[in-house]
């Protein structure tokens, strides 16, 4: 029998997910954020209701198409953000979600990253809908390798999928196989994401 490698908290949120969008009409929400990782097949959608005076999140529903880790991560996130201001919720990181869950296996950390990205996309959507574009902090991914159009987001995904060296990154993204001028910057970005997600 295969050993269960997840915490009891992950198991609970997987088997009893909180705040799933079921019968509610998505159009009744004030904002929506969608993100996905084609490499693993997970997709997350986060719906928010917001108090327009206090700019606090009064409700958070979600739909996730993915594995147990993706479901548990989004369920936990939906509980964490209720009552938070939009600015405070935007500062939630994948590490915060991981800590609340009691951790995830290294090859499943990308699920918690998708959760906080979907949340930020929903927060940005609220700001756009209400003429507060100056509050939006999420920018498009920066291109590191211009020859092959490899972005910081591509490097982050590679790290979350197991890349720990430049050679492993290159195998996954082909970065630096053009002119090669990006190698130093790619190594710096690679190291920063390894430290961010795994503390190595």
Catalytically active residues, by annotation: 40, 111
- The two structure tokens encoding residue 189: 């970005």
Closest CA to 45 of 25, 23, 21: 21
Helix or strand run (H / E) with residue 189: helix 183-198
Give the three-state DSSP class for 153: helix
- The two structure tokens encoding residue 82: 């209720």
Closest CA to 56 of 76, 31, 74, 33: 31
- The two structure tokens encoding residue 89: 């919720």
């Amino acid at each position: 029998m295969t050993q269960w490698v997840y915490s009891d908290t992950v198991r609970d949120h997987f088997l009893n997910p909180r705040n799933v969008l079921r019968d509610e009409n998505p159009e009744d929400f004030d904002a929506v954020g969608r993100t996905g990782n084609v490499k693993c097949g997970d997709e997350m959608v986060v719906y928010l209701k917001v108090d327009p005076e206090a700019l606090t999140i009064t409700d958070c529903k979600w739909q996730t198409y993915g594995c147990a880790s993706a479901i548990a991560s989004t369920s936990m996130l939906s509980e964490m953000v209720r009552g938070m201001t939009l600015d405070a919720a935007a500062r939630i990181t994948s590490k915060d979600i991981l800590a609340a869950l009691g951790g995830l296996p290294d090859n499943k950390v990308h699920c918690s990253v998708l959760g906080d990205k979907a949340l930020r996309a929903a927060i940005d959507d609220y700001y756009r809908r209400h003429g507060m574009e100056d509050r939006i902090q999420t920018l498009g991914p920066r291109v590191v390798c211009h020859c092959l159009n490899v972005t910081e987001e591509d490097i982050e995904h590679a790290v979350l999928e197991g890349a720990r060296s430049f050679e492993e990154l290159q195998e996954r993204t082909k970065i630096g196989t053009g002119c090669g001028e990006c190698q130093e910057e790619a190594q710096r970005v690679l190291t920063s994401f390894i430290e961010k997600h795994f503390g190595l």
